[in-house]
Amino acid sequence: RPEAPRRAGARGAVPRRAGRDAHRDALVPARVLRARTLLLGLYGLLGLTVSSWLARLPTVRASLDLTTGQLGTVLLVGAVGSLVTVLLAGSVVARWGSRVTILAAAVVFSTASLLLGLAPTVGSVPVLVLGVVLMSASFALGNVPMNVETVAIERAMGRTVVPQFHAAFSLGSVAGSVLGALASWVGVPVLVHFGVVSIGALVWRLLAVPGAVLPPPPAPVAAVQHHGAPPARRGAGLRSALSAWRDRRTLLIGVVVMSAALSEGSANNWLAIAVVDGFAQTEALAAAVFGGFVASMTAARLAGTRLIDRFGRVAVLATSGVASLVGLVTFGLAPSLPTALVGVVAWGLGAGLVVPIGMAAVSGDPLRAAGRVAVVSAFASFASITAPPLIGLAAEAVGARRALLLITVVMLASILLARTVREEPAGAPGAGTGTVVPVSTGEQVGDAREAHVAVGDTRAPQDVGALGGAAAPAVPVGQRDLVAAAR
């Protein structure tokens, strides 16, 4: 049995919360801890690859002699192809599972990176458009299953960990922006830069994804049924994913997350260019400013778990919205670069926790978590893909810095909708109030057993190692369409 954490205040004692977390983690099956570590790495890698491309965006624009309006048009054309992917991503995950979806997205993403490096090398705008389309589509496709897996891991661990994955993405983004700044300063060709990053990232993903995705439930468990209901039919997972689009609370939280994705996506695409054009700075310095934005987001996410536990989701979300709004306005209207940097830091601090809070808010019911997370992820992907190109069109007329101020309208909506992320009351529709059915697998994982419920194609492992061999825990079962039989 793991040693109990020492009392707070004792000599050499660990902080009380840290001790509780360490004790809980000691009871989590090794496969869950390994999946968490690998998925953290994949989030960091995704941030690195995306930021590497965004940091070199001024070079790509200059090499192809594009205006801000023309670049915005290219990004908008790319968004058209990704829109279908965003709308279908939840259904694809329900049909094929997270592992296959993430691997497919990884292959397409690396191909897109090579094309983005090739386009300025050969001077071809069509190649750039193709690269943007593929990258946008692959990001949207991979974003949904990765978020679904973070929720599954959080449930399996029994404590809040979702913000940590987003923090890993931010840390990777910082590394990517630093890498981009160094590559620009040294004069590394974009084809060499993107080629090395894309090939290395693909190898990493092929090796890590199998262990980062929790395995599907064994057949005996998947036969769990609603009391008195006939067996679930094939396609129940797809219907479950689509039914989340009719849930009003999920849609409102989707708007909240969309505002954060719009804020972050606009910064990703236009912050470096806004610094270059608005303050007549070099690309290397602009990449460093973008790195400061991402570093601020990372700091907020690292502190997020404690802040949310102490002040609650609603208060943290509202405060984050105000900070982000004030920061963006400061950056857009700042008379000098130092003042603008203060705005960038506040903007990043405010933007950091909105997406993790939204994901946690829709994942309270394990049976509906997959579909709801897919809907919220689709909102985020849609905003991050489609809105920045429109800002590029506006930047043609008023400049990139002023154009970024357009997203303040959506930020205000996020602040007004902050109350939607509070915990669902027990007994609320869709709050997981179905029949309670004991589930057991007998599957041995180290010293702990796991109970699984099949929700479409989503894994919901629950650690019962602390029961010491006692009866399996009771798992709430709702509508029969949400429990799919193993095929």
> DSSP readout, 430-456?
TSS-SEEEE-----EETTEEEE---BT
Among 254, 278, 389, residue whose Cα is nearest residue 343: 278
> What does pLDDT average to in each consecutive run of 10 residues of the chain (487 residues)?
41 48 68 92 92 85 85 75 72 82 94 93 91 88 84 79 86 85 88 92 94 67 40 53 79 89 83 88 84 87 81 90 94 92 94 86 71 78 70 83 89 89 61 36 33 35 31 30 30
Among 205, 333, 228, residue whose Cα is nearest residue 278: 333
**Radius of gyration for the alpha carbons in the chain, expressed in angstroms and rounded:** 23
Question: Which pLDDT belongs to residue 310?
Answer: 82
User: Which two structure tokens, joined as six digits, stand for 66?
Assistant: 């594009």
CATH architecture of the region 27-210+230-421: Up-down Bundle (1.20)
Sign of the alpha-carbon dihedral angle for 281, 285, 291, 295: negative
Residue found by looking up tokens 């090794």 in the block? 30
Collapsing DSSP to helix, strand or coil, 109 comes out as: helix
Non-local CB neighbours of 401 within 8 Å, separated by 6+ positions: 274, 277, 278, 331, 332
Tell me the domain boundaries of the chain: 27-210+230-421
The answer to whether 260 and 380 are in contact (CB under 8 A) is yes
Collapsing DSSP to helix, strand or coil, 28 comes out as: coil
Burial class (CB within 10 angstroms; exposed 0-12, middle 13-18, buried 19+) of 234: exposed
The whole-angstrom separation of Cα 137 and Cα 56 is: 20
Question: Which pLDDT belongs to residue 226?
Answer: 38
Half-sphere exposure of 354 (CA within 13 A, CB side): 35
Residue spans of beta strands (DSSP E) within 80-141: none
The CA-CA-CA angle for residues 440, 28, 34, to 5°, reads 110
Non-local CB neighbours of 60 within 8 Å, separated by 6+ positions: 116, 119, 120, 128, 190
User: Which two structure tokens, joined as six digits, stand for 291?
Assistant: 């790195």
Query: Read out DSSP for 149-167?
Result: HHHHHHHHHTS--HHHHHH
- Buried b / exposed e over 96-121, threshold 16 CB at 10 Å, is ebbbbbbbbbbebbbbbbbbbbbbbe
The answer to whether 417 and 256 are in contact (CB under 8 A) is yes
The answer to whether 85 and 140 are in contact (CB under 8 A) is yes
Sign of the alpha-carbon dihedral angle for 337, 342, 348, 350: negative
Amino acid at 243: S
Collapsing DSSP to helix, strand or coil, 462 comes out as: strand
The answer to whether 263 and 347 are in contact (CB under 8 A) is yes
Question: Which pLDDT belongs to residue 472?
Answer: 29
Question: Which pLDDT belongs to residue 108?
Answer: 94
Q: Rounded to whole angstroms, what are the CA distances from 49 to 43, 236, 372, 395?
A: 10, 35, 27, 25
User: Which two structure tokens, joined as six digits, stand for 205?
Assistant: 């993903």
The whole-angstrom separation of Cα 320 and Cα 163 is: 14
